[in-house]
Structure 1
Amino acid sequence: MQIGYARVSRGDHQDLGAQLAALDAAGCGRVFREEASGGKADRPELARALVALQPGDVLVVWKLDRLSRSLRDLLFTLEAVAAAGAAFRSLTEAIDTTTPAGRLMLQTLGAFAEFERAMIRERTLNGLAHARAAGRHLGRRPSLTAQQRAEIIARAEAGEGSPSQLASLFRVSRSTVQRVLRAHRARVDL
């Protein structure tokens, strides 16, 4: 029996339609559908698909990256497939682990996928370091201006409101006000 696995990343507004049509055309009698990141280890539908495999079955995916994003995770998943006495097939990359050439191709593609992900991470970290070195602020914009922080400190020191009241006045959370006051006290204590 051919068992299909279709996955889209959560929150990307992707559609499973193309994957489901390809898996149906490939003759999958059962298809497990999932909305989760490929880099995430906890994918319950993939786990259910692996448990459903019987000796002689074939786990079929539309594309290799639907199954995994790292070589380590891919090899772990394929070990589970092999332990069940089943095989693996990717429709897009024409990989079929029932043949030695298919197993070689799978390992090669997995290595390239992991290499690509490492290169993207390296470029991202390099870009962030370059932005920091150039003095650019990374992350969310501060919810309070320097003048608003100074006013919160002045009011708190004058006893003109609790952190909750000041938070309400400046339309920020109480923890934001407390963080401003803690930072000020730390500077004063030096």
Structure 2
Amino acid sequence: MAIAGYARVSTRDQNSSLSTQKQALEELGSQKVFCDVISGSKSARPGLRAAFEWLRSGDTLLVTRLDRLGRSTVDTLRTVAELEERGVRLKALDLDLDSTTPAGRLVMRTMASLAEWERELLVERTRDGLAHARAQGRVGGRPRVLSSAGVDAVKAALAAGLPVAQIAALHGVSRRTITRVRAGEYD
């Protein structure tokens, strides 16, 4: 059974932190350490993907901090669930967490429940906020690039047989906007 380490920092300025993480992981028996220098807000983490490809069922992934695995609680728990599905043991040093112990599984499941609750609250708050904004006459989304007079002009140009590209250039909009007007999607 192999042990892999995973270290992540958000910026190149944190290289000393990356070195510290790597050293700790190697001292604890990591045969290979995978690294990412990328913001936690980015979902694509090539080092973590490489670690997943390297690890097999029965192996262990070691991290210095649990939050290194994801950009949010939900994302971290998704990564943890993927590890569990693949039969890979997870050890997080900051929480002294081991996914193969009963206490470790309890903590993981509790965190998963809290993350689900947090996600549901966020959806509910967003829905309430949008309803409140609509009640005050505000509408979200990007502003329209064509006024109602512009839409009428585009329709007239389409009826006259002008090419979509030419109409788009005349109005300073994309061809997609013109095709949306033609399809009746732009009201």
> TM-score, normalising length from structure 2?
0.68
CA positional deviation for 1:21: 3.2
Q: Which amino acid in the other structure matches residue 81 of structure 1?
A: G
Q: CA RMSD in A?
A: 3.7
Equivalent in the alignment of 1:11: none
Q: Which amino acid in the other structure matches residue 11 of structure 2?
A: D
- 8 A Cα contact 1:59 1:81, kept in partner: no
Measure the CA separation in 2 of the matches of 1:147 and 1:160.
Answer: 19
CA positional deviation for 1:168: 0.7
- 8 A Cα contact 2:58 2:87, kept in partner: no
Distance 1:88 1:155, change over 3 A: closer
Measure the CA separation in 1 of the matches of 2:110 and 2:172.
Answer: 54
Equivalent in the alignment of 1:15: 11
Distance 1:178 1:52, change over 3 A: closer
Equivalent in the alignment of 1:26: 25
Give deviations 1:117-155, integer Å, cap 9, x for gaps: 332233223322332343322111112122322222334
Structure 2 counterpart SS, 1:142: coil
Equivalent in the alignment of 2:131: 129
Measure the CA separation in 2 of the matches of 1:61 and 1:78.
Answer: 15
Equivalent in the alignment of 1:100: 102
CA positional deviation for 1:81: 3.4
Distance 1:61 1:153, change over 3 A: same
Is 1:169 the equivalent of 2:175? no
Residue ranges of structure 1 left out of the alignment (5+ in a row): 9-13
- 8 A Cα contact 1:4 1:32, kept in partner: yes
Structure 2 counterpart SS, 1:150: helix
- 8 A Cα contact 1:88 1:96, kept in partner: yes
- 8 A Cα contact 2:56 2:86, kept in partner: no
Give deviations 1:149-176, integer Å, cap 9, x for gaps: 222233444x273322111111112221
My pick for the range that moved more, 133-142 or 17-26, is: 17-26
Structure 2 counterpart SS, 1:172: coil
Q: How many residues align?
A: 175
Measure the CA separation in 2 of the matches of 1:164 and 1:120.
Answer: 42
1:20-99 equivalences under 5 Å are 21-27=20-26, 28-33=30-35, 45-53=47-55, 57-67=59-69, 69=74, 71=77, 74-82=80-88, 87-99=89-101
My pick for the range that moved more, 144-153 or 168-177, is: 144-153
